[in-house]
A and B are shown apart, each in its own frame.
Chain A
Amino acid sequence: MSSPTTAPAAPARSWAADKLFLGLSFWEYAKSLATPGNFVAGLIMAVGLPLMAYRFIFGLGAATNLSQTNPWGIWIGFDLLSGVALAAGGYTLATAVYIFGLEKYHAVVRPAVLTGFLGYLFAVLGLAADLGRPWNLPVPIVYSFGGPSVMFEIAWCVVLYLTVLFMEFLPPIFEWLGWPKARLWAVRMTIGLTVFGVMLSTLHQSSLGALFLMAPTKLHPLWYSPFIPAYFFISSIAAGLSMVIVESALSHRAFQSRADHHTDVDGIALGLARGASIVLFAYFFVKLQGIADGGRWAMLATPYGYWFLVEMIGFILLPSMLFAYGARHSRVALVRWTAAWTVLGIVVNRLNVSVIAMNWNVPDRYVPSFMEVWISITLVTLGVSTFRWIVNRMPVLNAHPEYPDSSSH
């Protein structure tokens, strides 16, 4: 707090310079943006955004390789299914810290919630590109209710959860704006929002798997199972934990000047690895039970069976063991690489269910078009850039000086 006598001495910076330009003048700020990373991001977007416009002007047929046989491609399998699974860190960490009282992980709740919010936001944007008539999105929310539809449940949950994540992220926004009263009001909602967030996440994470229950003749029997909602829910927890490990490692390296150096990033990573190891182990056996229950053992000795085993052993059992080893022997680097590998494994699983093992028995196979891939990469780039923009301004990785305990809410 500056005393009234010294205040006039410092030249008052404009609101924009203070809040938006990191305390620099506009031109200084513009110059500071000229970095190799921003150049690559700008290049991706410079191609990606016109491609997005192209898709809306000329239609899905012109931009994608979707067909009458394969109506869902990577915008569903990667942007939506993988995006939502990897954004599960928000509810996982909020539950661990606010409900279970595991204070050790407090420092990573805010980045996890922010990652969750942006993950959902860009998953929904990817969905908007995939929908034929995205402007009709309010229809099932406002007046035409498809009650018996799993998709209806997902639409409601995602709309509500996006709102919940935004409200969970209000405290750092209000700290940034300097609105202490609003901040206090937002902080008081934390527990309620966390509980509501867990309810919504349980429902829609599992329901994204339940979508595929309707395709018993189309999805390969090794992936089709009545337990698929449980697979999606359990794996979302592992995805969320792994994503937080990866994201906190990258953030504390990339934002060294911003990050709180008292945060025990290594200890947090090792603790989360222990949790992820257990969850992946359970996930492995629940998946195995699906094979036993469906009597699918013989199918393991087919090409699709080999690919299924790659997923089961390479992307579930192996990381479970590596997490356990890394956590036990405090091998932080191993834990971080394993987390990245698990994130990849979740993406592989979601693509298997929605694209690779889908319509496995018909000749018309789907391979994404160049534009589908580029637009997906553009959305990821937009998400990362937005994350950086926010972390550079708001108290996410560090406590706000005026609210020293701010990272505890």
Chain B
Amino acid sequence: MKLNRRTFFKVAGTAGAVALAPASKAGATSHAEALAAGRRGVLVDTTKCIGCRACEAACAEANVLAGPAMPDDAAVFAAPRKTDTAAFTVVNQRAASPARFVKQQCMHCIEPACASACLARALDKTPTGPVVYHKDRCLGCRYCMVACPFGVPKYEYDKALPYVRKCTFCAERQAKGEAPACTSVCPSGALTFGNRNELIETARERLYAKGSSYVRHIYGENEVGGTSWMYITDIPIEKLGLPTDVGSYAYSSLTQASLAAVPFVLTLWPPLLMGIYSFSKRRNEVEARGGSAREEADHV
């Protein structure tokens, strides 16, 4: 075979692609796998929750918060409550008989909408799980609140110097090797803190065990691209009080196309506009001399 320029490029290109493709693919997978292997999470088994709200109290203590009001159980479960700046987690009753309680807090998404919305990286994702808040960086634009599909970030509207407040997944305790405050006090086994991959295995075992009454869906395994906190239950998923219209894609993907256009605008606009400028400048100059641009062009 005669090796001309064109064939050379074809061969070189194919060889290069073959040589590089598996390596880079394998590299990417192992990196993603390594990240996933280091990720921690919590499995919430709503069939085991007894509604004691020890987690709420532990959370308030660990975060030095006023915490939710603690009237008797009947009153507190009368209507669903929301997390707020003084209570990063709340337990609501979602089914009457058998009684089913659902704990709510920040989901600590694998690719959090809030962190990809934040212009100052005040909200930041740590590799092992917690979405943490660097309050010294926060401008208070509240875009995180607009972006979060779970309505988690809460704002201190009542303060002149406000911050965003939300569950921290006890990042500081985790850094010291301790479990989050809420999971460490749960007496019923409803909250299991551990390696996220292993928790998914545990959840599947329970869901598919013989005689299982669980709904065969792990909420948070794939929602918004996956969350650190995951739920299994035996009541319809729609009744958990968690949004079911959030999709299974990471929210950062929603703005990717828009942000990808930035380099094109930066590189294509200047030559295009300068080109139009030189055309129009010449046209105006020629017209000022009383000619037409077309005639001038013919003489050149």
Interface residues of A, Cβ cutoff 8 Å to B: 56-62, 64, 66-69, 71-72, 95, 98-101, 103, 130-134, 136-137, 139-140, 144-146, 148-155, 191, 194-195, 198-199, 202-203, 206-207, 210-218, 226, 229
Within 246-300 of B, Cβ neighbours of A (below 8 Å) are at 246-247, 251-252, 254-255, 257-259, 261-262, 265-266, 269-270, 273-274, 276-277, 280-281, 283-284
Give the shortest distance, in Å, between B282 (CB) and chain A (any CB).
9
B160 at the interface (CB under 8 A from A): yes
B161 at the interface (CB under 8 A from A): yes
Size range of the interface on B?
A: 35 or more
Q: Which of B116, B149, B255, B259 has the most C-beta atoms of chain A within 10 angstroms of its own C-beta?
A: B255
Cβ contact within 8 Å between B274 and A195: yes
B232 at the interface (CB under 8 A from A): no
Contact of A210 among B149, B255, B274 (CB under 8 A): B255
Give the shortest distance, in Å, between A182 (CB) and chain B (any CB).
24
Chain A residues with Cβ under 8 A from B113's Cβ? 214
Chain B residues with Cβ under 8 A from A198's Cβ? 269, 273
Cβ contact within 8 Å between A199 and B265: yes
Can you add 16 more A-B contacts, CB < 8 Å, to A151-B118, A153-B262? A57-B160, A61-B159, A132-B142, A132-B161, A133-B162, A136-B138, A139-B139, A148-B255, A150-B259, A198-B273, A203-B265, A211-B143, A214-B113, A215-B146, A217-B246, A229-B258
B120 at the interface (CB under 8 A from A): yes
Chain A residues with Cβ under 8 A from B274's Cβ? 191, 195
Chain B residues with Cβ under 8 A from A60's Cβ? 155, 157, 162
Chain B residues with Cβ under 8 A from A155's Cβ? 119
Cβ contact within 8 Å between B259 and A133: no
Chain B residues with Cβ under 8 A from A130's Cβ? 141
> Measured between alpha carbons, how far is A95 from B269 in the docked complex, in Å?
12
Interface residues of B, Cβ cutoff 8 Å to A: 82, 84, 113, 116-122, 134, 137-143, 145-147, 149, 151, 154-163, 243, 245-247, 251-252, 254-255, 257-259, 261-262, 265-266, 269-270, 273-274, 276-277, 280-281, 283-284
Q: List, sorted by A's number, 11 A–B pairs whose CB atoms are closer than 8 Å.
A: A98-B277, A103-B284, A131-B139, A134-B140, A144-B120, A146-B119, A150-B117, A199-B266, A210-B259, A213-B258, A214-B254
Give the shortest distance, in Å, between B152 (CB) and chain A (any CB).
10
The chain A residue sitting closest to B152, CB to CB, is A68
Cβ contact within 8 Å between A214 and B255: yes
Cβ contact within 8 Å between A136 and B137: yes
Contact of B252 among A132, A148, A212 (CB under 8 A): A148
Q: Which of B119, B162, B280 has the most C-beta atoms of chain A within 10 angstroms of its own C-beta?
A: B119
The chain A residue sitting closest to B150, CB to CB, is A217
Give the shortest distance, in Å, between B135 (CB) and chain A (any CB).
9
> Measured between alpha carbons, how far is A99 from B149 in the docked complex, in Å?
44
The chain B residue sitting closest to A155, CB to CB, is B119
> Measured between alpha carbons, how far is A95 from B258 in the docked complex, in Å?
23
The chain A residue sitting closest to B274, CB to CB, is A195
> Measured between alpha carbons, how far is A86 from B122 in the docked complex, in Å?
31
Cβ contact within 8 Å between A151 and B143: yes
Chain B residues with Cβ under 8 A from A59's Cβ? 156-160, 162
> Measured between alpha carbons, how far is A47 from B122 in the docked complex, in Å?
35
Cβ contact within 8 Å between A101 and B283: yes
Contact of A153 among B143, B245, B259, B269 (CB under 8 A): B259
Cβ contact within 8 Å between B141 and A131: yes
> Measured between alpha carbons, how far is A133 from B139 in the docked complex, in Å?
5
Cβ contact within 8 Å between A191 and B277: yes
Cβ contact within 8 Å between A68 and B155: yes
Give the shortest distance, in Å, between B143 (CB) and chain A (any CB).
5
Cβ contact within 8 Å between B157 and A216: no
> Measured between alpha carbons, how far is A202 from B267 in the docked complex, in Å?
13
